[in-house]
Amino acid sequence: MEATYSLSPEQVAFYEENGYLHLPGVLSREEATAYREEAHALIRRLAQARGGEDALNAAWGSSRALTDLPPKLLHCHNVQYHSAAFTRLLCDPRLTDRIACLIGPNIQLHHTKLFIKPPEQGAPFPLHQDYPYFPHAKHTMLAAIFFFEDTPVERGCLCVIPGSHKLGPLPHIPEGGWHLPLEQYPLEAAVPIPVEAGDVVVFNYLTIHGSGVNRTQEARTTLLVQMRDPTDFPTQAVHLSRGQGLMLRGIDPTADADPDTSSRSRYLSQLSHANRTPE
């Protein structure tokens, strides 16, 4: 498959060594502003349909330990079912060609998450790996976060512990959102990644990450796209959601798309392969 965009060998080596990569200017500033408006309009529609913004608050219980104000995090899963603009963004080769340099030519969607951290009380994320939420066999799973505004430290930028993906899966505390022990893993231990509108930050699901409170007067608006190599199967039937298994680039060589590409069917299919006795 022809690629229009790519990563340099240095960028690929950086990702492999550090477990994350900052990609400046994937979208233009104008595009980022348009996606920001699309995101806020979606959240307004959802709030109206569900009786107010409180119904959309996805702040983790554990985030209360990191802020004095009641934490607020407006959220929508799988935005591609709400707006075609987001569907187009998921398959945009400016994203997918670059991700292909990290996990191979075939890229499959796991889920998407829109977050708005509102001004002043936008909730932090305590440090965690994403692995406990949706463990997979080959650890190709990675997230790409699109940032739709300039996001310096004080707007709650993403923070990571470089190289932590090499530690493998770590024990997490499930209560209040799966997170690492707060005393052992304070947010200050992580490196902040300040970004500009239109930038993307990519990180492996084993990379320890989190983010701070939005203390500014402007919202912080992001779209997180979680992706995997389609030959990387889930090891538990968890975090199932509509839309899982959609191909964003290339093909699914396992031809597992019928009748159901959800993680549950992929999990069951992996078990049946593992239990099959050799002929």
Ligand X SMILES: O=C(O)CCC(=O)C(=O)O
Asked if residues 226 and 248 have their Cβ atoms less than 8 Å apart, the reply is no
Q: Does 147 bind ligand X (CB under 6 A)?
A: no
- For ligand X, the closer of residues 26 and 158 by Cβ is 158
Q: What is the rounded CA–CA span in Å between residue 267 and residue 236?
A: 6
State which of residues 224, 225, 246, 248 lies at the interface with ligand X (CB under 6 A): 224
Q: Which H, E and C letters describe 137-181, residue by residue?
A: CCCCCEEEEEECCCECHHHCCEEECCCHHHHCCCCCECCCCCECC
Query: By beta-carbon distance, which residue lies closest to ligand X?
Result: 211
State which of residues 36, 110, 209, 266 lies at the interface with ligand X (CB under 6 A): 209
Q: Does 226 bind ligand X (CB under 6 A)?
A: no
CA neighbours closer than 13 Å in the CB half-sphere of residue 196 = 9
Asked if residues 15 and 196 have their Cβ atoms less than 8 Å apart, the reply is no
- For ligand X, the closer of residues 15 and 147 by Cβ is 147
1 Cβ neighbours under 8 A, 6+ residues apart:
105, 249, 250
Q: Does 149 bind ligand X (CB under 6 A)?
A: no
CA 208, 204, 104: angle at the middle one, nearest 5? 170
List the interface residues with ligand X, window 83-142 (CB under 6 A). Answer: 113, 115, 125, 130
Q: Does 221 bind ligand X (CB under 6 A)?
A: no
Query: Could you tell me which residues are beta bridge partners of residue 112?
Result: 225
Give min distance, CB of 24 to ligand X, in A. 18
Give min distance, CB of 257 to ligand X, in A. 26
Backbone angles phi and psi of 207, in degrees to 5: -75, 125
State which of residues 222, 244, 261, 265 lies at the interface with ligand X (CB under 6 A): 222
Give min distance, CB of 133 to ligand X, in A. 7
Q: Does 158 bind ligand X (CB under 6 A)?
A: yes
Q: Does 211 bind ligand X (CB under 6 A)?
A: yes
- Applying CB under 6 A, which residues contact ligand X? 113, 115, 125, 130, 145, 158, 209, 211, 222, 224
